[in-house]
Amino acid sequence: MVSLKSFTSRTLYWLTSALCLAVTVYGLANVMPAIGDFRLGPFEMVFFRASFFALCILVVTLGVIRGSSGSLGDRILSVMAAICGLGMLWSCWSFYQVSSKLDEAMFLFGAHEMWIALIAAAGALFFCWRIWGIPVALLGIFGIAYMATGHHWPGLLQTVNMGVTETLAQNLLYSLDSGILGSTFSIVITTVFPFIILGAVLEGVGAGDSMIRIAFSWMRHTAGGPAHAAVLSSGLFGTVSGSAVGNVVGTGVVTIPMIKKRGFTPNFAGAVEAAASTGGQIMPPIMGAAALVMADFVGVSYLTIIIAVLVPAIAYYGSLFAMIVFESRRLGIKAEDTADNGVEQPTRQDYLNLLLIFVPLGLIVALLIMGLSPSGASISALALLFPLSFINPEVRQQPVKLIKSLCAGGKTFSQLLMAIAAVSIVISALSVTGVPLKFGILLSSMVSDSLLLSLVVAAFCCIVLGMGMPTLPAYVTVATIAIPAMQQLGLEPLTAHMFVFFIAVASAITPPVAIAAFAAASISGGGPIGTSFQASKVGIMIFAIPFTFAFNPLLLTVADAGVEFSLLSWLWLLVKLVIGILLVASALSGFDKRALKLAEILLRLVAACFLFAPGMFMDQIGVGLTLVLVLWHRRSDCKLYRMKVTG
């Protein structure tokens, strides 16, 4: 006989799954392109925003309740989740009533609307805390507090008193331009949403395991072996998922134990996986949700973003390979056949399964080149993927996997929307209080004559504000604050946004709150802080590359970066980048052909800095210093070898 607890659990599971599927179907219907004369969406804007958000609220509410273990604390959280969910549903209804029937310019918001807006904000921050952790929620709380009390703050932080009641009501909820259901919400549900669903389906059709097996097979004769396989598989996997923590969990459970088995330390094993997984968010063509939002913010096509980020992304993964090579030399790890590594050898079916990844991604790129919108391209790829997925026998045996992947996509997006709601609160607070303008004035006054120092300050702010946050909220928050100041310093909008995007991605491996590194440490058995410091060292180029293209926008290739493309100059820039990466990788490992002395390490880093800097004079110094260092190293290595032979 089925117990009441078991019946309740199953009922909640099926109800949640149905709601997740409803989120997916409803969201896709809104952005579905026309088929002949037939078209479902876009639906009426105010109604869709309110109803779609309400569906997502139900999903996350039931998700928190289902996650309850039955302890007293969890029961209290379940009750709080139910109360917050009901309050937010009421707020959605109020938003629809006010925004669809009243003219905001003629409507005087009162205490009633203010309290409803605060209930919506409190509910969003509660769910954000439960799903994404405390940093994003605290940022939202600070935003609300600043909106309400900014006119009492001293100095530059003081704001104009426009009435607390109207300010909170309009800027938290009842505006189509700002607030929880404002413009950021609109961009995410129309542009990002189809890619989230596509990524979920790509993961669900079974190509992930095939990618890992193929990566291990290709890298089995290298010294790094599993570490190189982790970089390769995480890069491919990241193209699909666009989530650093998701990449770590998806591939790290296989790769990290293998890296440790090869002789690398637990901290290094976790660091490689964390750094490689983090890079998936900058790997075209899907990247992460932040890249899609960036295209809207900058006002360029998504194809432009893909082209601009391609060389930096490849350079970053090349730097990871280089770091592993030099670390292998330092530890004395030799290349060996890793056929017997616990990972099955790839079969013909594994290679066929790669079609499930590359055919849809190729279609996306082709359609973007033809001028189709990102959402249209992703939906077309999704339509192709469904019949194509049947080349995988597992899908043929269990077609329900496709439905489950749609449900997973709906759940993922519903959770993401809570973080977006929290960030929208912050954006509204920044907008209404004028903080970005004040930050720009402050930054300009601090380092008005040095673009380098200005970028360092901006990067520091990016890292601090991005700690513990998913990439999209971190990027949106920092972009709102820092981009105006960076543009005042002479950077083109695309270059400035790309700089912030890279640093926001890097926050996932930046101590002390490095969520990707912490996830990897839980698998490797290493220390979370130690792993995050190692991940920052292994992935150092994700911090250096943004400074490189800020001073050398030609690296981004596209005209929107503010430079005219020259093939010879571009090729020379790539050569400098490769040499600089090798110098940095060997210096941070402290090893090349032999162990490096401190002076050699410092000089290699200096030479790399000269190579990354713009100008022919800097190039000459960098190249000259590099030649001297390499020749000296080879000479001393040969002397050491002769001494060993004769000794």
> What is residue 440's predicted lDDT score, i.e. its pLDDT?
64
446-449 contact pairs (CB < 8 A, 24+) = none
Query: What's the whole-number average pLDDT of the chain?
Result: 84
Residue 109 has pLDDT above 60, yes or no: yes
Question: Does the pLDDT of residue 122 top 90, yes or no?
Answer: yes
| List of long-range contacts for 382-390, beta carbons under 8 Å, 24+ apart | 382/28, 382/194, 382/197, 382/198, 382/201, 384/359, 384/360, 385/198, 385/201, 385/202, 385/205, 385/356, 385/360, 386/201, 388/355, 388/356, 388/359, 388/360, 389/201, 389/205, 389/206, 389/356
pLDDT band at 364 (very low <50, low <70, confident <90, very high): confident
| Helix boundaries (H) for 288-399 | 289-298, 302-331, 348-353, 355-369, 374-388, 393-397
Q: Distance between CA atoms of 196 and 240, rounded to whole angstroms?
A: 9
Q: Model confidence over 494-524: pLDDT tens digits?
A: 999 999 899 888 888 888 778 788 888 888 8
Radius of gyration of the chain measured on its C-alpha atoms: 26
Within 10 angstroms of residue 523's Cβ, the number of other Cβ atoms is: 22
Contacts of 222 (CB under 8 A, 6+ apart): 228, 335
Per-residue pLDDT band for 640 (boundaries 50, 70, 90) equals low
pLDDT band at 53 (very low <50, low <70, confident <90, very high): very high
CA pseudo-torsion sign 310, 312, 315, 320: negative
If one compares 462 and 574, the residue with the highest pLDDT of the two is 574
User: How confident is the model over 522-554, as pLDDT tens digits?
Assistant: 888 888 888 889 999 999 999 999 999 999 999
pLDDT of res. 1 = 45
Average pLDDT, stretch 398-403?
91
Please say if the pLDDT value at position 251 is more than 80.
Answer: no
Which of the two residues, 477 and 276, has the higher pLDDT score?
276
The half-sphere exposure of 310 on its side-chain side, counting CA atoms within 13 A, is: 12
Asked whether the predicted pLDDT for residue 295 surpasses 70, the reply is yes
Stretch 433-437: mean pLDDT: 71
Gap between the Cα atoms of 562 and 565, Å rounded: 10
Residue 298 in contact with residue 276, Cβ under 8 Å? no
Contact, 509 vs 275, CB < 8 A? yes
String of b and e for 426-446 (b: at least 16 CB within 10 Å)? bbbbbbbbebbebbbeebeee
- H or E element at residue 235: helix 226-241
Q: Side chain identity at 606, as an amino acid letter?
A: V
The answer to which of 248-257, 288-297, 368-377 has the lowest mean pLDDT is 248-257
For helices 266-279 and 226-241, angle between their N-to-C axes, nearest 10 degrees: 30
Q: What DSSP letter does each residue of 336-360 carry, written as one string?
A: ---SSSSSPPP-HHHHHHTHHHHHH
Half-sphere exposure of 72 (CA within 13 A, CB side): 0
The one-letter amino acid code at 88 reads M
- Chain centroid offset of residue 624 CA: 38
Residue predicted with more confidence, 361 or 158: 361
Paired tokens of 383: 């339509």
Residue whose tokens read 């937010």: 88
Q: How far is CA 371 from CA 32, 36, 173, 500, 574, in A?
A: 16, 18, 35, 27, 29
Residue 437 pLDDT: 67
CA distances 400 to 22, 259, 381, 390, Å, are: 16, 35, 19, 12
pLDDT higher than 70, residue 59: yes
Percent over 90 (pLDDT), the chain: 27
What was the pLDDT predicted at 242? 60
Q: Let me know: does 504 contact 474? Beta carbons within 8 Å.
A: yes
Answer whether 566's CB lies under 8 Å from 554's CB. Answer: yes
Query: How many whole angstroms separate alpha carbon 588 and alpha carbon 577?
Result: 16
Most confident residue range from 118-132, 171-185, 419-433:
118-132
Look at residue 26 and tell me whether its pLDDT is greater than 90: yes
- Greatest CA span in the chain, whole angstroms? 93
pLDDT of res. 574: 93
Picking from 345, 356, 28, the residue whose alpha carbon sits closest to that of residue 192 is 28
Predicted confidence (pLDDT) per residue in 255-270, tens digit: 888 888 888 889 998 9
- The DSSP element (H or E) to which 497 belongs, if any, is helix 493-506
Residue 35, helix vs strand vs coil: strand
User: pTM for the whole thing?
Assistant: 0.81
pLDDT digits over 307-336, tens only? Answer: 999 999 999 999 999 999 899 888 888 766
State what percent of residues in the chain have pLDDT above 70.
Answer: 89
Give per-residue pLDDT as tens, 581-639: 999 999 999 988 888 889 999 999 999 999 988 888 888 898 999 999 888 877 766 66
**What average pLDDT does this structure show over 195-204?**
84
Q: What is the dihedral of CA 563, 568, 571, 572, to 10 degrees?
A: -90
pLDDT greater at residue 311 or residue 170: 311
Answer for the pair 170, 432: CB distance below 8 angstroms, yes or no: no
CA angle 213, 215, 217 (to 5 degrees): 70
Predicted confidence at residue 47, as pLDDT, reads 92
- What DSSP assignment string belongs to 572-595? HHHHHHHHHHHHHHHHHHTBSSSB
Matching residue, tokens 């005219």:
564
Q: Indicate the Cα dihedral angle 161, 457, 519, 85, nearest 10°.
A: 10
Q: Cα 341–346–350 angle (5° rounding)?
A: 140
What local confidence, expressed as pLDDT, does residue 238 receive? 65
- Is residue 88 over pLDDT 90? yes
The type of residue at 323 is M
For 334-348, the pLDDT digits (tens) are 766 544 455 677 888
Q: Tell me which amino acid residue 375 is.
A: S
pLDDT surpassing 90 at residue 85 = yes
Q: Per-residue pLDDT averaged across 559-565, rounded?
A: 85
310: its two tokens:
């391609």
Count CB atoms within 10 A of the CB of residue 615. 11
pLDDT band at 36 (very low <50, low <70, confident <90, very high): low
Task: Say what the alpha-carbon torsion angle 297, 298, 304, 310 is, to the nearest 10 degrees.
Answer: -80
- Read off the pLDDT of residues 442-484 as tens digits, 9 standing for 90 and up: 666 665 566 787 788 778 877 777 776 777 787 887 787 778 7
Between 21 and 437, residue with greater pLDDT? 21
Distance CA 447, CA 443 (A): 6
Residue 83 has pLDDT above 50, yes or no: yes
Going by C-beta distance under 8 Å and a sequence separation of 6 or more, which residues neighbour residue 429? 142, 143, 144, 146, 147, 171, 435
Per-residue pLDDT at 573: 93
- How many alpha carbons lie under 13 Å from residue 24 in its C-beta half-sphere? 26
280: closest CA among 229, 226, 244? Answer: 244
User: Residue 42 and residue 40: Cα distance in Å, rounded?
Assistant: 7
Mean pLDDT of 230-250: 72
Q: What is the DSSP letter of 467?
A: T
Residue 605 Cα distances to 153, 324, 599, 610, 628, angstroms? 44, 18, 10, 9, 14
Spatial contact of 276 and 230, defined as CB atoms under 8 Å apart: yes
